[in-house]
């Protein structure tokens, strides 16, 4: 043994060349250890084994030390013979083989462009064959009776989804204090913590996420710390052992300090880092403090690594004199491993400044970063990412979730395509439960809608995250020898509402009796998405803040040609008044903001006009539909949720704090209209996607929220022609499970107000409740809980019996309302569903009806079937723009039970009625789409017709 084989890990991150060398080195060192172990019996060796110098003193701990020196040379990644496996280490004995026949298979190969039509054989937890399989062949091969045949009938099949940024199991559903284990607050630098140690096996979300196709997830610690700890990758299925450990996929050796004899490779480890606002907020730090904490920690780890390398150089040369024990520190070993290039570092960093800091750190301490997460400004600084040590990190991002705090303010829906164009790998992630990972594919669908190519969009939730996690040797692809994790879809995975009909993990079907929807044929193809090149360019030009204010057409006449359908408000309802016949699209003429004519081109001809007084817009099969209304979020009262100076703020809760007498004391009643803020980015984005009106409600979790206001999302300010349409709509109260005051106390307060004697006082609150009690304005009770809803129904009866008047009551939230569909109908209580795709986030909203494939019908379809008045809203302002997709999804989930007009009514006429909006018709806009109707992923909103403004906005 000579010294030239001992350059132990001097480089930070071994490149492929170094990996090969280390692999060889490890094998040779393993041989050395064997010899040394054999000789260990005698303290002074008679002959000189390799690795020690003639006559040198070999200490007792030599073998242990040499083992550690070997361990530090192992290369991260699968063992070289991994491909030779014939049975998965996760195979469950007794699982029958499965033959999926006649599928359209997205394999992940060829940059995500390969699609095969054929069969897939799953056996021993692995994908054994992809392509053409004859049944006779398989039956011969597979143990008799242990084959299950699934006819795909041409359905799309993809690999199981890989969510590479999840807090499944560490932020569990329902959220309870006893299981809030995602963030330690013990200091900014905690590389020694492991998310595995907190993994709750009872999270309700596992089964839901599986139903959306997620099979593998990286579970990260939260982002309260600069270094939050080690992340672990799990498969989501239940295990026989029922333990967190049994869920792990390719766990690192260090979890139990075992490693096969002669191993040359070690599984990738994962580590969470975070920059920016979160660690700053928790530790009252600045960004400067956070990066000093990083540098101090990496300096410490570098010193330990240098000591280890020097130690092993001597030990392996047999120079034991003066060598004490192997230098190591359990707290720092994981960070040392980062510098050895064996950890996939997942860094939550948003802004240009954070990303620049982080990339400087990687070069100073020479370690690669696997991915930057959230990274809302990554698309603005791709060159910074390309300067990273080793290789550019991937960007793991949301599709349209942004602006929730300052560092996400410049987040863009065009980021995925811009990053991909810049050569950065894109991963769409959930940050579950921030987004429900059940709808991870929806993130890919939206990224595709805004311009990420089809192949990369599917890859962004399958093969790319698998690569980023260092797991692409076994998950993320449909290839022979990969894990038997796959999804059968009811439609093309990038089509809106695509839903798994079956999900296999390790070859085990996960859905017991899936409810399968039959989607129209057009959903079997990827949507032909609109072109957003201009918008993406503008986004870059304005560094993420392109102007969003609408521009008004400069002609009094606007003619829309190639119109497929026209739907308008008629007598408080919606009616499709024009539908093109096959192959013959129509036209529509708007004069001074009023739709004056629509129909076949010859019936609604382009008026003869002078030059420059008429504008013609080709809708290429687009539609004209009523503008939608949004409700439920802080839209209109807040711009950046995390920044008090950008919000109206929160109301006092008279059940908790004395309300200052200057504000009216406990009888103060707050009006949302007084706090409205116009022209916010979420508000204008909502407008650009067809949401022309909004109802705002005073913010805060208080029992008495206040009075709602109805306003236009396009207005520049309150005094705009169409700024405020109805300053007071309904009275809003909230009944929440918050400890003190109790739910029963809140109900007692509501009862007292409703039964108070008719107002003989000037107090506004008394007058408002009197109006509620007389049924003049509705009371909207915010709650998700079925027991509270039942109590509200009872209270309504009680008040009506006492007053003789009819109360107008609406439930907002309503996650559990399907349990009371009949009673709601009988009591004439309507519901505004705020989470159209429900999640059991809290105990009080746990009893959801999850919808297909887990249940027949959804909350919305159940309530509609019982003729309950229902509308839909959202919970966060950035979601408002997606209202059109939410109602489209609800219609798809109903399996054809909801027509287009009914779907649109959920976010227009129904919603408005339930919220006490009386004056909409005169101000109601029409939304114009190109390439398809408002409910489609193939359409783009290109304009809004405004009778009140007497004009047309064109985007
Ligand atoms: C992968 O596909 C994308 C988009 O279709 C393309 O831009 C890129 O060049 C492709 N990469 C390779 C290596 O072929
Ligand atoms: C240690 O973990 C590995 C990987 O999960 C496992 O294969 C092995 O059996 C474990 N050993 C012990 C002693 O638990
Ligand atoms: C998530 O995906 C990104 C981008 O591919 C990758 O860099 C990162 O390592 C993954 N995250 C985790 C926790 O594996
Ligand atoms: C977008 O910008 C690029 C580069 O600046 C330019 O080549 C391209 O023509 C622009 N596209 C559009 C649609 O403006």
Residue minimizing CA distance to atom 2 of ligand 1: 111
Shortest-distance atom of ligand 2 to CA 245:
5
Structure tokens at 439: 């709808």
Identify the nearest ligand to the CA of 272 by its number: 3
Identify the nearest ligand to the CA of 216 by its number: 3
For residue 31, report the distance from its CA to the centre of ligand 4, in Å. 60
Q: 604 CB under 6 A from ligand 1?
A: no
Domain with CATH 2.30.40 in the chain: 547-627+924-955
Could you give the CA distance from residue 127 to residue 716 in angstroms, rounded to a whole number?
Answer: 58
Residue 929 C-beta-side C-alpha neighbours within 13 Å: 28
For residue 710, report the distance from its CA to the centre of ligand 1, in Å. 47
Domain with CATH 3.20.20.140 in the chain: 628-923
- What is the per-residue pLDDT across 271-320, written as a single tens digit (0 to 9) for each? 999 999 888 888 878 999 999 999 999 999 999 999 999 999 999 999 99
Q: 541 CB under 6 A from ligand 4?
A: no
Q: 453 CB under 6 A from ligand 1?
A: yes
| Residue 786 burial (10 A CB sphere; 0-12, 13-18, 19+) | buried
Residue minimizing CA distance to atom 14 of ligand 1: 111
For residue 537, report the distance from its CA to the centre of ligand 4, in Å. 6
Q: Quick one: how many helices (H) and strands (E) in the chain? A: 25, 37
Residue minimizing CA distance to atom 5 of ligand 2: 251
Identify the nearest ligand to the CA of 421 by its number: 1
CATH number of 628-923: 3.20.20.140
Q: 659 CB under 6 A from ligand 3?
A: no
Chunked in runs of 10, what are the mean pLDDT values of the chain (955 residues)?
Answer: 27 34 47 42 35 63 92 92 95 95 97 96 96 83 79 96 75 82 90 94 93 92 91 95 96 83 90 91 88 97 98 94 93 96 93 96 96 91 96 86 89 93 87 81 95 96 90 96 97 97 98 94 96 96 95 94 95 92 90 93 76 87 97 96 93 90 86 96 97 97 93 95 93 94 95 77 78 91 98 96 93 98 98 95 95 95 96 96 97 90 96 90 88 97 96 96
| Residue 719 burial (10 A CB sphere; 0-12, 13-18, 19+) | exposed
For residue 397, report the distance from its CA to the centre of ligand 3, in Å. 10
Could you give the CA distance from residue 850 to residue 837 in angstroms, rounded to a whole number?
Answer: 8
Residue minimizing CA distance to atom 6 of ligand 2: 258
> First CA to last CA across the chain, in angstroms?
73
| H helices present in 432-513, as ranges | 440-449, 454-459, 463-468
For residue 387, report the distance from its CA to the centre of ligand 1, in Å. 21
Could you give the CA distance from residue 687 to residue 946 in angstroms, rounded to a whole number?
Answer: 12
Identify the nearest ligand to the CA of 532 by its number: 4
Shortest-distance atom of ligand 4 to CA 533:
13
For residue 249, report the distance from its CA to the centre of ligand 1, in Å. 29
Name beta bridge partners: 171: 180
Q: 393 CB under 6 A from ligand 3?
A: yes
Identify the nearest ligand to the CA of 89 by its number: 2
Q: Give the 3-state secondary structure percentages of the chain, helix then strand then coil, rounded to 5.
A: 30, 25, 45
8 A C-beta contact, residue 613 and residue 376: no
Name the DSSP letter for residue 581: B
Residue minimizing CA distance to atom 2 of ligand 2: 256
Identify the nearest ligand to the CA of 394 by its number: 3
Residue minimizing CA distance to atom 7 of ligand 3: 371
Residues near ligand 2 (Cβ within 6 A):
251, 256, 258
For residue 423, report the distance from its CA to the centre of ligand 1, in Å. 9
- Write the Ramachandran bin of 725: left for phi over 0, alpha for psi from -120 to 50, otherwise beta: alpha
Could you give the CA distance from residue 705 to residue 54 in angstroms, rounded to a whole number?
Answer: 85
CATH number of 547-627+924-955: 2.30.40
Dihedral sign computed on CA atoms, order 610, 614, 620, 624: negative
Largest Cα–Cα separation, the chain:
111
- For 350-404, strand residue ranges (E) read 371-374, 394-397
For residue 590, report the distance from its CA to the centre of ligand 3, in Å. 50
Identify the nearest ligand to the CA of 258 by its number: 2
For residue 159, report the distance from its CA to the centre of ligand 2, in Å. 27
Residue minimizing CA distance to atom 3 of ligand 4: 537
For residue 425, report the distance from its CA to the centre of ligand 3, in Å. 10
Shortest-distance atom of ligand 1 to CA 111:
1
8 A C-beta contact, residue 886 and residue 874: yes
Could you give the CA distance from residue 768 to residue 778 in angstroms, rounded to a whole number?
Answer: 10
Could you give the CA distance from residue 353 to residue 359 in angstroms, rounded to a whole number?
Answer: 10
Residue minimizing CA distance to atom 4 of ligand 3: 394
Q: 554 CB under 6 A from ligand 4?
A: no
From 235, 255, 258, mutation site for ligand 2 pocket: most ligand atoms within 8 A of C-beta: 258
- What is the per-residue pLDDT across 2-11, written as a single tens digit (0 to 9) for each? 222 222 232 3
Place of tokens 């599709």: 399
> Among candidates 451, 429, 922, 480, which has minimal Cα distance to 710?
922
Residue minimizing CA distance to atom 6 of ligand 4: 537
Residue minimizing CA distance to atom 8 of ligand 1: 111
From 112, 161, 165, 470, mutation site for ligand 3 pocket: most ligand atoms within 8 A of C-beta: 165
8 A C-beta contact, residue 270 and residue 469: yes
8 A C-beta contact, residue 629 and residue 694: yes
Could you give the CA distance from residue 187 to residue 181 in angstroms, rounded to a whole number?
Answer: 15
8 A C-beta contact, residue 562 and residue 928: no
Residue minimizing CA distance to atom 2 of ligand 3: 465
> Among candidates 762, 728, 733, 726, which has minimal Cα distance to 747?
733
| Residue 752 burial (10 A CB sphere; 0-12, 13-18, 19+) | exposed
8 A C-beta contact, residue 839 and residue 879: no
8 A C-beta contact, residue 210 and residue 237: yes
For residue 495, report the distance from its CA to the centre of ligand 2, in Å. 41
Residue minimizing CA distance to atom 5 of ligand 4: 537
Dihedral sign computed on CA atoms, order 149, 151, 157, 161: negative
For residue 341, report the distance from its CA to the centre of ligand 4, in Å. 39
For residue 256, report the distance from its CA to the centre of ligand 2, in Å. 6
From 456, 463, 464, 526, mutation site for ligand 1 pocket: most ligand atoms within 8 A of C-beta: 456
8 A C-beta contact, residue 562 and residue 618: yes
Shortest-distance atom of ligand 4 to CA 534:
13
Q: 537 CB under 6 A from ligand 4?
A: yes
- Is the N-terminal amide bond of 877 cis, ω within 30° of 0? no
Could you give the CA distance from residue 902 to residue 910 in angstroms, rounded to a whole number?
Answer: 9
Distant-in-sequence, close-in-space partners of 781: CB < 8 Å, separation ≥ 6: 733, 734, 735, 750, 788, 792, 809, 810, 811, 812
For residue 89, report the distance from its CA to the centre of ligand 2, in Å. 11
Could you give the CA distance from residue 953 to residue 933 in angstroms, rounded to a whole number?
Answer: 18
Shortest-distance atom of ligand 2 to CA 256:
1
Bridge-based pairing of strands 779-783 and 809-813 is parallel
For residue 531, report the distance from its CA to the centre of ligand 4, in Å. 12
Could you give the CA distance from residue 439 to residue 420 in angstroms, rounded to a whole number?
Answer: 22
Q: 370 CB under 6 A from ligand 3?
A: yes
Q: 463 CB under 6 A from ligand 1?
A: no
Instruction: Phi first, then psi: give them for residue 570, nearest 5 degrees.
Output: -145, 115
Dihedral sign computed on CA atoms, order 181, 182, 186, 191: positive
For residue 396, report the distance from its CA to the centre of ligand 3, in Å. 6
700 CB neighbour count, 10 Å cutoff: 18
Identify the nearest ligand to the CA of 263 by its number: 2
Residue minimizing CA distance to atom 12 of ligand 2: 256
**pLDDT confidence of residue 165:** 62
From 251, 256, 266, mutation site for ligand 2 pocket: most ligand atoms within 8 A of C-beta: 256
Could you give the CA distance from residue 438 to residue 91 in angstroms, rounded to a whole number?
Answer: 24
Q: 371 CB under 6 A from ligand 3?
A: yes
Buried b (16+ CB within 10 A) or exposed e, 182-213: bbbeeebbbbebbbbebbbbebbbbbbbbbbb
For residue 260, report the distance from its CA to the centre of ligand 2, in Å. 10
- What is the per-residue pLDDT across 316-352, written as a single tens digit (0 to 9) for each? 999 999 899 999 999 999 999 999 999 999 999 999 9
Q: 419 CB under 6 A from ligand 3?
A: no
């Amino acid at each position: 043994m000579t010294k030239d084989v001992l350059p132990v890990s001097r480089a930070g991150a071994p490149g492929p060349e170094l990996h090969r060398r280390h692999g060889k080195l490890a094998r040779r060192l393993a041989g050395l250890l064997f010899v040394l172990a054999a000789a260990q019996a005698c303290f002074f060796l008679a002959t000189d084994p390799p690795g020690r110098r003639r006559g040198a003193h070999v200490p007792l701990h030599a073998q242990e030390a040499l083992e550690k020196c070997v361990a530090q040379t192992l290369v991260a990644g699968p063992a070289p013979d991994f491909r030779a496996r014939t049975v998965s280490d996760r195979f469950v004995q007794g699982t029958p083989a499965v033959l999926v026949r006649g599928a359209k298979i997205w394999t992940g190969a060829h940059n995500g462009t390969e699609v095969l039509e054929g069969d897939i054989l799953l056996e021993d937890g692995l994908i054994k064959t992809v392509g053409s399989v004859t049944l006779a062949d398989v039956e011969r091969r597979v143990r008799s009776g242990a084959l299950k045949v699934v006819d795909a009938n041409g359905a799309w099949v993809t690999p199981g989804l890989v969510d590479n940024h999840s807090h499944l199991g560490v932020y569990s559903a329902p959220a309870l204090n006893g299981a809030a284990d995602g963030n330690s607050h013990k200091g900014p630098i905690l590389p020694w913590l492991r998310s595995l140690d907190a993994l709750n096996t009872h999270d309700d979300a596992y089964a839901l996420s599986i139903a959306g196709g997620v099979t593998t997830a990286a579970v990260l610690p939260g982002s309260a710390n600069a270094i939050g700890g080690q992340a672990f990758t799990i498969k989501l299925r239940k295990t026989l052992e029922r333990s967190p450990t049994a869920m792990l996929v390719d766990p690192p050796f260090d979890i139990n300090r075992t490693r096969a004899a002669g191993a040359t490779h070690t599984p990738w480890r994962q580590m969470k880092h975070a920059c920016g606002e979160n660690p700053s907020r928790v530790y009252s730090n600045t960004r400067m403090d956070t990066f000093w904490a990083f540098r101090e920690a990496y300096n410490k780890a570098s010193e330990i690594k240098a000591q280890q390398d020097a130690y092993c150089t001597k030990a392996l040369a047999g120079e034991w004199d003066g060598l004490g024990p192997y230098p190591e520190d359990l707290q720092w070993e994981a960070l040392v491993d980062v510098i050895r290039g064996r950890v996939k570092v997942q860094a939550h960093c948003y802004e240009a400044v954070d990303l620049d800091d982080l990339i400087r750190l990687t070069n100073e301490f020479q370690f690669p970063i696997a991915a930057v997460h959230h990274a809302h400004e990554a698309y603005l600084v791709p060159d910074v990412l390309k300067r990273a040590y080793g290789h550019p990190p991937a960007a793991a991002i949301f599709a349209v979730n942004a602006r929730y705090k300052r560092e996400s303010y410049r987040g863009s829906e065009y980021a995925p395509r811009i990053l991909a164009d810049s050569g950065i790998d894109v991963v769409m992630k959930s940050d579950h439960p921030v987004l429900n990972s059940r709808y991870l594919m929806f993130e890919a669908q939206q990224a595709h809608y805004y311009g990420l190519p089809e192949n990369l969009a599917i890859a962004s939730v399958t093969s790319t995250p698998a690569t980023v996690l260092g797991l692409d040797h076994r998950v993320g692809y449909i290839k022979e020898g990969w894990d038997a994790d796959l999804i059968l879809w009811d439609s093309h995975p990038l089509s809106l509402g695509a839903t798994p009909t079956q999900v296999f993990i390790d070859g085990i079907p996960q859905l017991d009796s899936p409810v399968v929807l039959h989607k129209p044929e057009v959903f079997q193809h990827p949507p032909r998405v609109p072109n957003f090149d201009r918008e993406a360019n503008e986004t870059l030009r304005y560094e993420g803040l392109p102007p969003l204010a609408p521009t008004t057409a400069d002609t009094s006449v606007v003619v829309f040609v190639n119109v497929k359908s026209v739907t308008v408000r008629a007598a408080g309802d919606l009616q499709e008044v024009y539908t093109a016949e096959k192959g013959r699209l129509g036209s529509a003429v708007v004069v001074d903001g009023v739709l004056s004519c629509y129909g076949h081109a010859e019936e609604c001809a382009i008026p003869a006009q002078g030059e420059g007084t008429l504008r013609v817009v080709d809708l290429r099969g687009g539609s004209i539909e009523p503008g939608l209304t949004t409700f439920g979020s802080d839209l209109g009262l807040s711009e950046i949720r995390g920044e008090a100076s950008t919000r109206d703020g929160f109301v006092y809760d008279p059940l908790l704090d004395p309300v200052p007498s200057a504000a009216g004391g406990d009888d103060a009643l707050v009006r949302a209209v007084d706090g409205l803020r116009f022209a916010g980015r979420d508000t204008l984005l909502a407008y650009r996607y067809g949401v022309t009106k909004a109802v705002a409600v005073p913010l805060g979790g208080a029992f008495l929220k206040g009075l709602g206001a109805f306003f236009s999302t396009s207005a520049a300010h309150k005094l705009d022609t169409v700024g405020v349409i109805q300053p007071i709509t309904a009275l809003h109260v909230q009944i929440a499970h918050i400890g003190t005051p109790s739910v029963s106390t809140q109900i007692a307060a509501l009862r007292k107000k409703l039964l108070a004697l008719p107002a003989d006082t000037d107090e506004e609150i008394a007058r408002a409740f009197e109006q509620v009690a007389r049924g003049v304005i509705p009371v909207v009770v915010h709650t998700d809980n079925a027991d509270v809803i039942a109590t509200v129904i009872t209270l309504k009866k009680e008040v009506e019996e006492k007053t003789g008047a009819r109360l107008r009551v609406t439930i907002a939230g309503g996650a559990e309302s399907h349990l009371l569909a009949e009673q709601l109908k009988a009591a004439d209580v309507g519901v505004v569903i705020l989470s159209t795709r429900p999640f059991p986030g809290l105990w009080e909203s746990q009893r959801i009806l999850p919808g297909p494939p887990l249940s027949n019908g959804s909350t919305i379809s159940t309530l509609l079937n019982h003729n309950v008045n229902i509308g839909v809203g959202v919970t966060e302002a950035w979601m408002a723009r997606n209202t059109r997709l939410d109602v489209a999804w609800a219609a798809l989930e109903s399996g054809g039970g909801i027509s287009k007009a009914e779907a649109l009514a959920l976010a227009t006429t129904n919603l408005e009625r339930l919220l006490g909006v009386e004056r909409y018709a005169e101000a109601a806009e029409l939304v114009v789409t190109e390439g398809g109707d408002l409910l489609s992923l193939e359409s783009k909103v290109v304009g809004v017709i405004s009778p009140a403004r007497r004009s047309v906005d064109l985007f």
